[in-house]
Structure 1
Amino acid sequence: MKEYIIAKLIKIDQDYIYLLLNNICYKFFYSKNDIKGIKEDSEIKLYISNVWIENELKSFGFLNVENRNLFEILININTIGQKTVLKILDSYNYEELIDIFKTGNTDKILKIKGIGNYTAKLIINGMQKSLFNNQLSDKKQQVLISLEKLGYKTKDIYKVIINADDKLTIDQLTKYVLLEINLV
């Protein structure tokens, strides 16, 4: 498995970036946000991720290892496909994404075309679990859903519930979250 490639950038089109190395042309899917400012005919270092999607090996290239690592976590979240992952990476830079995932800001994920409420929650939950080892217990998930139905914003609930004591009952947890949200 290759970590990265250093080669001459010969072409960028809508979907692919093309690199030439030793008279062999390699093509990679890419994040548009990742390649801003690079020019054709320049030598670049591209971090590689190869993923099996629908019985086909697809190659993705990234200018920095952090974006590649984010991609690899996102692509492994169930029901999240390559187009959705690339849209996420196209929409925000690395630091913004880390902040979004850390704070559970589903509103920013929902701004991305084609991502609905369920998918946004799945992404936030998956990324918090992978990056910060935060996973909502069934109790916390139940309180989150209940408060969302009452009209509270997911990001506000997440900020409070993620740090709440798991030993609280559902009623105690609900009261705690409501009190903390109203203090903010």
Structure 2
Amino acid sequence: MNTAAIPTVDRLRIQDRAAYELLYRLVMPSVVRLVRRNGGNVADAEDVFQETLMVLFEKVQRPDFRLTASLKTYLITIARNIWLNRLRARRTLLLNNLADCDNLPDQPADEFTPTNAVLRWLDQATPFCRALLRAVFFDNEPMETLLARMGWKNKHTAANQKYKCVQQVKRVAVGTNRAHFFSRSGD
């Protein structure tokens, strides 16, 4: 890659659209390779790259921001960390789902209702996330309908919002379960 073609931090700081587009062309293929080699797909890579650019945008606005590596290395490191966090979250979610299979009620799936614990966790989410997650998981509202209702531009934005809201509820659930576990450990 031609390092002279990489945009400067100053261009990124002033939100030069061409600089961000250039980063997309120069760095996105590496992020796609990284994500695909580690169990993801192109859509996952696009989400990760968008989140990476948001992190970069926030960082370059800080007056004390200094690059200690090349911009490409910096971005790939951010993308790698984001992807690893998502993989950890997926693995934890999968393990939690498998553990919960032992506690499922003996009734058909169409009669199954959300547990009180899930509803309590959901009630602690922001109103936006509460509404989004209820629409997606309880009302089975199609994403296309949500796109129009929320004014989102594409499915990736919708998927990102859904992911962030699920993570928000998951943090509440993990904190609640830890508190419950430690409060019972003295019994």
TM beyond 0.5: no
Q: How does the TM-score come out when normalised to structure 1?
A: 0.30
Structure showing the higher strand proportion among its residues: 1
Q: How does the TM-score come out when normalised to structure 2?
A: 0.30
